[in-house]
């Protein structure tokens, strides 16, 4: 048997990568950080040691189903069929993305 995990792909999904430098260059972000963590203090400067990448992604629900090992070539078709059968593909959503494939004895 093969256990397959998939998510639904939609048109308004977001997947952005920003550097911490870009985020800290935004004046609104700096003001929010200062007001939350250093309220009432003056003459503060925000800095960082390394330039880290921050990812902003749409949170996805992962769905699973199982098929026979003989059906490996048709996994994407079976994932789309499973999504349609359970009415997971809604308006503005047009397909599935295979997330993980696990072979089970």
- How many angstroms separate the CA atoms of 100 and 98, rounded? 6
Burial 30-67 (b: 16+ CB within 10 A, else e): eeeebeeeeeeeeeeeeeeeeeeeeeeeeeeeebebeb
- How many angstroms separate the CA atoms of 68 and 78, rounded? 11
> What pLDDT does 73 receive?
86
- Using the predicted structure, report yes or no on whether residue 41 has a pLDDT greater than 90: no
Write the pLDDT tens digit of every residue in 73-91. 889 999 999 999 999 888 8
């Amino acid at each position: 048997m093969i256990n397959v995990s998939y998510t639904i792909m939609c048109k308004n999904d977001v997947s952005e990568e920003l550097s911490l430098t870009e985020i800290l260059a935004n004046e609104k972000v700096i003001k929010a950080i200062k007001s939350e963590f250093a309220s009432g203090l003056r003459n503060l400067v925000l800095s960082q040691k390394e330039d880290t990448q921050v990812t902003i992604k749409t949170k996805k629900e992962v769905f699973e189903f199982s098929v026979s090992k003989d059906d490996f070539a048709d996994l994407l078709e079976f994932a789309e069929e499973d999504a349609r059968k359970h009415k997971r593909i809604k308006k503005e959503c047009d397909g599935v993305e295979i997330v993980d494939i696990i072979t089970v004895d």
